[in-house]
Amino acid sequence: MSAAPNAPDPLTQATATVAWVIFANKPIYPLYVWYLVGNGVTASLGTLAAAPFFLAIPFVARRSGLAARIMLPVVGTLDTLFETKLLGPGSGTQLFFTACIMLAGVSFRPDEKWWQRSVAIIVFASFAFSRFYLGAPLHSWSTDDLAVLLNLNSFALACLLTFIALRFAGQDRR
């Protein structure tokens, strides 16, 4: 069965699927914070700020596969920077730069290597910036709260990386 005439290519379809999954999970994060930590829920609501940008990616994919494939790791990077500033590096939010690097590694074709390299450099530079220049978090957490958030974010990252690996597995990058 062939794809519809304006259907995105398989790499772009995989990108759109990942964006939908991230978008769908955004509203759940503050609920986890409320349930597991019990405080900082108001601060965690700030993590919803990027949801419209993730939602836009599948719609951009209909017009430009390359733009969508660039957008996902870049939006993820900006979201990770914001969440690290909001919740602090001890919360484990910086770990999500890993997913952005993975997306840069799997989302591009060989003839798009300069886009791929550029996105990878943007992600790494953002990570370095977050490590050395981001400053104090907007919300203060206790040591126990940070341990819970680190555990939550580590598990969420493992789930996301697994999903990305499964979704992009076997994709033709020609």
Q: Which range of residues forms the domain containing residue 76?
A: 10-168
Residues 1-49 pLDDT 10s: 455 556 789 999 999 999 999 999 999 999 999 999 998 999 999 999 9
Instruction: Specify whether the CB–CB gap between 118 and 69 falls below 8 A.
Output: no
Residue 173: inside a domain, yes or no?
no
Instruction: Specify whether the CB–CB gap between 93 and 87 falls below 8 A.
Output: yes
Residues 77-113 pLDDT 10s: 999 999 999 999 999 999 999 999 999 999 999 999 9
Q: What is the pLDDT of residue 6?
A: 67
Residue 117: inside a domain, yes or no?
yes
- The whole model's pTM is what? 0.93
Residue 51: inside a domain, yes or no?
yes
Task: Please state the domain count of the chain.
Answer: 1
Residue 101: inside a domain, yes or no?
yes
